[in-house]
Structure 1
């Protein structure tokens, strides 16, 4: 990670990341992202936040160059499209986005990378019933599992929208699995879904990465949906 001691945007990045994880009212959260959307890309550039890079690295490890142009990818909690930028750099061309904030999606569309964008809230009933089933070769969520954002139940939506045999990549702040009451059940649920009969998916990777968000560790989960 670059030295951020003399970088004022690192402090703003930390502040906004903290504020976003402390808002639990849906309308307040959407209002917060509307205000943050203009500075989001600057705050979350790669010197500060490597979630999108980790996400796409995990996808690229399993999908060879020659197949990427035809692979369909769904970017969940897509924000302003930072994952899409990394996917496009690595040869992926068919990318759709879902995010709860229309303001963030407006910024995302300006990048002209995504085929289709949908404003929707996943989990706990949300808008998931109107979303496609068994539709994507790869489903990603980078930084979506944050307090007040994607609930644990959104895992079911990620699995449902992925094709049988497809990949599901979840990247998030590692400490939330232990320190956040609402996200503490996430990994136990992921394990339960792997071992139930029939199994929903199988884990291919679980990796802890330093400097995910400034000095905070991140964790990368990669699963393959069962056939």
Structure 2
């Protein structure tokens, strides 16, 4: 477990590699913004893991207080720089393991957690933690890549090939869509979702980020008109805690 954790941390410390996938960050940001469009303000918001912070920072006008957590020092550095560029001041940044933050129960009325379930050592513990720190009636925006989707299975097959070739250092978690939904729905209700694919499986270098963004949006539409959902292995959920 510790070896996998360090491999994940090493990948995300290389911000150039992660942020080079910014077409996906752009799509996630647009979906989060669309999910929050009908809400006025939130008193306390958590983005964990926050990456470079842009997804939540771009919505900061709706947040009275924003806490951004990531275990990558370089990502926190990027987050602080982006907050300064966007002139967002109502933030707190924390460089920490997700399970060592010690947030109190019912601490936040909005929790954003994207791009983590495939990498975390204990997905069930993460679900329990995210629900624990969300206020009753509060919102959770969650992303998962479904391992039981045909494209998700292809992703895991591709990862096995990369590991055998020595190009990957750890195994992605297999998180079935039905399992994740069942666990969240024990204590929340589903308000919205957006299904899409974020992976070009070895062909990524053939397309610019702008082209990948255009192709993805053309195939799957936006939050108001999510097309071809059956093709999407990735889902961004909007849950509300009971």
- Shared topology, TM-score over 0.5? yes
Describe the shift of the 1:149–1:79 C-alpha distance in structure 2 as closer, same or farther (beyond 3 A): farther
1:182 aligns with 2:173: yes
TM superposition score normalised by structure 2: 0.64
Aligned-residue offset at 1:57: 1.8
TM-aligned CA distance change 1:193 to 1:37, over 3 Å: closer
Q: Partners of 1:174 and 1:189 in 2: how far apart?
A: 9
- Which moves more between the two structures, 177-186 or 73-82? 177-186
Aligned residues: 188
Partner in structure 2 of residue 159 of structure 1:
131
Question: 2:208 matched to which residue of 1?
Answer: none
**TM-align CA RMSD:** 3.2
Question: Is the partner of 1:60 in helix, strand or coil?
Answer: coil
Q: Which moved more, 1:207-216 or 1:96-105?
A: 207-216
Cα distance per residue 1:22-71 (max 9 Å; x no partner): x962223222322x224644x1334775122212321224x1xxx32x53
Instruction: Please point out which of 28, 44, 58 is paired with 2:35.
Output: 58
- Is residue 2:188 matched to residue 1:201? yes
The one of 76, 89, 94 equivalent to 1:118 is: 94
Partner of 1:139, secondary structure, is strand
**Is 2:169 aligned against 1:191?**
no
List runs of 5+ in structure 1 lacking aligned partners: 1-22
Contact 1:55 1:83 in 2 (8 A): yes
User: Normalising by the residue count of structure 1, what TM-score does the alignment of the two structures yield?
Assistant: 0.68
Partner of 2:205: none
1:72 partnered with 2:88: no
| Residue aligning to 1:17 | none
Residues 108, 201 of structure 1: alpha-carbon distance in 2 compared, 3 angstrom cutoff: same
Displacement of 1:149 after TM fit? Answer: 6.7
